[in-house]
Structure 1
Amino acid sequence: MIKNKIDVITLGCSKNLVDSERLMRQLVANGYTIEHDPREPRGEIAVINTCGFIGDAKEESIGTILSFAEAKKKNQLRKLFVMGCLSERYRKELEQEIPEVDKFYGKFDWNALISDLGKSYHNELSTDRMISTPPHYAYLKISEGCDRTCSYCSIPLITGKYKSRSIGDIEDEVRHLVADGVKEFQLIAQDLTYYGLDLYQSMKLPELVERISDIEGVQWIRLHYAYPAHFPTDLLRVMRERDNVCNYLDIALQHISDHMLKLMRRNISKQQTIELIKLFREEVPGIHLRTTMMVGHPGETQEDFEELLDFVQQSRFERLGAFPYSHEEGTYSDRHYIDDVPAETKQQRMDALMDVQEEIALSVNKSKVGKTMKVIIDREEQDYFIGRTEFDSPEVDGEVLIEKNQPLTIGQFYDVKIKSALPFDLLGTIA
């Protein structure tokens, strides 16, 4: 137990990570040293930033809290605090079940933790962060909350109504991060598509991306978590015209059969989805699309799944993830549907879908063999330097393994000739 040292453990998504980074910056300003994501307690205080999205994430959060609570019982820890989505939603229950936690905070009141430690919150640092990613890239959260009403999703119950950050506030944060050496920005939100409607009464994502791309030093911008219904198509022009806006879009489609899209309350049809994908590929040649599919939602028949499988085979998404439906209390599904697809069937469908996607991903990667691609270097390992192209987002996508035939600098861009392909990674050498 090291005095004046605080362990901050972040669970869940990159949006949680941004909250942790802001908290850590405030703690450092108040004289603490920080360790992010230690495997076991190191400091005298621990803060766990929890996820409460689906069952597996909630179990991981509770398991982590219990592990640190046990350490506190053994006097390996003086104080234990919990924040984030799980405690936003289940604070009263957690307070009763895990009394070892000194205090629970939600997703939006974590700054009270500073005063509870007897320290001062520095308003002038409100957009500053202690970056926990490699210093050349950062996640940029442009909003909180979600106004969608998807049947399965608990996020609106946790985060509340959509709240856009102002364009000026986001620009200020980008300039600050660029000054600290950040070159690559992953724009994130529960729903990028909706950005600006609440604040400016119109969709402002295209304008926001343009203005960020104008900031000197911003070399890559990548877009995560768009929603297909009412997509702001002017964004495609921005992507096509701006060299520092990656030809990459993460847009969660979830399903394709009209039967399932209606049950899921997605407010879009199969035909509209197909036309949208066609538009993406026409307007931005070479675009890489990342999407997410759900299997096993209540009411999904074998015919629905086969329709989804056929759609994935035809659409050939460059990046695709899948997850089985999780019945979350308080959602529309919980109130109106029965979780009627067996867990074994869900797993079988997910495995079948990912088998198809693995073949597509390998084919996509093989098409890059022989090409020279711009790559940013993330880290050095024993046998390779590891980097990414504009089509590869950190953590979720593949990487480029680069032969060690000359020294490379972490965080710098290089031209890499692709020599061979694996299903999810590329192998190359400096051109």
Structure 2
Amino acid sequence: MIKKRVDVVTLGCSKNLVDSELLIKQFQAGGFTVEHDSSNPKGEIVVINTCGFIGDAKEESIETILNFADARKRGKIKKLFVMGCLSERYVDQLSDEIPEVDKYYGKFNWKDLIADLGMSYRADLINERSLTTPDHYAYLKISEGCNRTCSYCAIPLITGKHQSRTIESLVDEAHRLAAKGVKELQVIAQDLSYYGLDTYKKRMLAPLVEQLSQVDGIEWIRLHYAYPAGFPTDVLDVMAASPKVCNYLDIALQHISDPMLKAMRRNVTKAETLELVQLFRDKVPGIHLRTTMIAGHPGETEADFLELLDFVKQTRFERLGVFPYSHEEDTYSYKNYQDDIPDEIKQERADAIMSLQNGISRDINEAKVGSRIKVIIDREEDGYYVGRSEFDSPEVDPEVLVSSAEPLTPGSFYEVEVTGAEDYDLLAHVV
């Protein structure tokens, strides 16, 4: 007899996390006790929600599956199921190579797992999730899939075409989250810029964000994963006008050299990128931009890389990450380009960008010393209360380490004065 206890392990991005939260809610409705990302899984059933984005993520997913497959062979667990992006893409290979897994599911058919464990899928819980984040913030996934054709990206192969959720369903979910005590929404999608084009035949990010900002109880809304080509600039007006919409935008630019942008099939030029970045800063003074770059895409010359390095130096992004190029099967790059940049050169270039960014980040932080900012407290740790400003997304961005003589409440907002700066984090005390 299998005990009604499940451990769910989530790998990869916040979009995967939302899927896990939907699954957990279904399990709980079926009478199961569920632990998420436990350091010591104790259930007899384990479900791994995998990532298949790039090489490192795939390796982590496979290593996790193998570890639990070994635990199953040793009788530590009774059932092992795998879902998500990796198994969506490689289900046949995984089934052959790791047969200890009871069953593989893709990214979208995880509902079958509910039935396979003898439960009925609860359609009435369609907008209901069991949050794995702290009670005061949640991710709101506004669409699935991607219609872009970037040379290096396997995500459209995994997720399929872009599918926008309706504004009504998203506002309904936001109300439900607010009723649970959520104060901060991280609005996420593979491509925010495309939102609405399929369902409404026009870009609808701005109307969506405006309606979300009217939900009582929601105090911060932060936007993640925009695309520069076709960016809906009217959302900047909403951001500038609404105190609830954080002056923050996560937009992946990937490169600045025109030859590289063309090779990457980004459908945007250097001049258009520079104009867009300037528009962000003009429309929303003080906006903090988060972006990612790719180092070592096939054909990237030393001149291309130096142009990228200069762009980072001149633009001074508040938040920036770098990926060494990963040659992913079945992508346009894989089929049409030779992976001609040695791995060590890719890493050297990525390291050079991050070294430059470290100094930029510290300069930006030091300029905040003496200023007063609003933070939300996430937790208490190592003698500090750890909070974030409107410019800091959880998990990926810097934090504000707050000193206070009086106890602070996680999930509450406080005004703090910045007293010190590190490369990434700020030091502050409550005003």
What TM bracket, shorter-length normalisation?
A: over 0.9
Equivalent position of 1:37 in the other structure: 37
2:120 is equivalent to residue 103 of structure 1: no
State the SS of the aligned residue for 2:218.
Answer: coil
Q: Is residue 297–residue 341 contact of structure 1 (8 Å, CA) maintained in 2? A: yes
Equivalent position of 1:128 in the other structure: 128
Q: Give runs of ≥4 in structure 1 deviating > 4 Å.
A: none
Tell me by how many angstroms 1:93 deviates.
1.0
Unaligned runs of 5+ in 2: none
Distance 1:50 1:330 in 2: 19
Q: TM-score, normalised by structure 1?
A: 0.99
Tell me by how many angstroms 1:382 deviates.
3.0
Tell me by how many angstroms 1:181 deviates.
0.5
Tell me by how many angstroms 1:2 deviates.
8.9
Q: Is residue 295–residue 346 contact of structure 2 (8 Å, CA) maintained in 1? A: yes
Distance 1:328 1:90 in 2: 12
Q: Is residue 327–residue 334 contact of structure 1 (8 Å, CA) maintained in 2? A: yes
- Aligned-residue identity in percent: 64
Equivalent position of 2:177 in the other structure: 177
Q: Is residue 370–residue 417 contact of structure 1 (8 Å, CA) maintained in 2? A: yes
Equivalent position of 2:65 in the other structure: 65
AA paired with 1:215? Answer: V
2:421 is equivalent to residue 421 of structure 1: yes
Q: Is residue 41–residue 77 contact of structure 1 (8 Å, CA) maintained in 2? A: no
CA deviations 1:249-286 (Å, max 9, x no partner) are 00000000001000000000000000000000000000
Equivalent position of 2:203 in the other structure: 203
Q: Is residue 227–residue 251 contact of structure 2 (8 Å, CA) maintained in 1? A: yes
AA paired with 1:411? Answer: G
CA deviations 1:225-253 (Å, max 9, x no partner) are 00000111101100000000000000000
Equivalent position of 1:237 in the other structure: 237
AA paired with 1:21? Answer: E
Equivalent position of 1:48 in the other structure: 48
Tell me by how many angstroms 1:96 deviates.
1.1
CA deviations 1:273-305 (Å, max 9, x no partner) are 000000000000000000000000000011000
Equivalent position of 2:119 in the other structure: 119
AA paired with 2:356? Answer: V
Equivalent position of 1:405 in the other structure: 405
Tell me by how many angstroms 1:97 deviates.
1.0
Equivalent position of 1:226 in the other structure: 226
Equivalent position of 1:16 in the other structure: 16
Number of positions where the alignment pairs a residue of Structure 1 with one of Structure 2: 431
Equivalent position of 1:383 in the other structure: 383
AA paired with 1:117? Answer: L
AA paired with 2:49? Answer: N
State the SS of the aligned residue for 2:385.
Answer: strand
AA paired with 2:426? Answer: L
Distance 2:181 2:247 in 1: 23
Distance 1:308 1:381 in 2: 37
Q: Is residue 41–residue 68 contact of structure 1 (8 Å, CA) maintained in 2? A: no
AA paired with 1:94? Answer: L
Distance 2:420 2:33 in 1: 44
Distance 2:346 2:128 in 1: 42
Matches within 5 A, 1:257-296: 257-296=257-296
Equivalent position of 2:392 in the other structure: 392
CA deviations 1:324-343 (Å, max 9, x no partner) are 00000000000000000001
Tell me by how many angstroms 1:4 deviates.
1.4
Tell me by how many angstroms 1:40 deviates.
4.0
Distance 1:273 1:135 in 2: 37
Distance 2:5 2:384 in 1: 34
Distance 1:340 1:351 in 2: 19
Distance 1:11 1:2 in 2: 25
CA deviations 1:157-216 (Å, max 9, x no partner) are 000000000100111111000000000000000000000000000000000000000111
AA paired with 1:137? Answer: Y
State the SS of the aligned residue for 1:224.
Answer: strand
AA paired with 2:404? Answer: K
Distance 1:35 1:2 in 2: 16
Q: Is residue 206–residue 234 contact of structure 1 (8 Å, CA) maintained in 2? A: yes
Tell me by how many angstroms 1:61 deviates.
0.4
State the SS of the aligned residue for 2:4.
Answer: strand
AA paired with 2:393? Answer: S
CA deviations 1:133-176 (Å, max 9, x no partner) are 10100000000000000000000000000000010011111100
State the SS of the aligned residue for 1:197.
Answer: coil
Tell me by how many angstroms 1:16 deviates.
0.1
Distance 1:139 1:266 in 2: 27
Distance 1:94 1:41 in 2: 23
Distance 1:195 1:39 in 2: 37
Tell me by how many angstroms 1:41 deviates.
3.1
Equivalent position of 1:7 in the other structure: 7
Equivalent position of 1:141 in the other structure: 141
State the SS of the aligned residue for 1:3.
Answer: coil
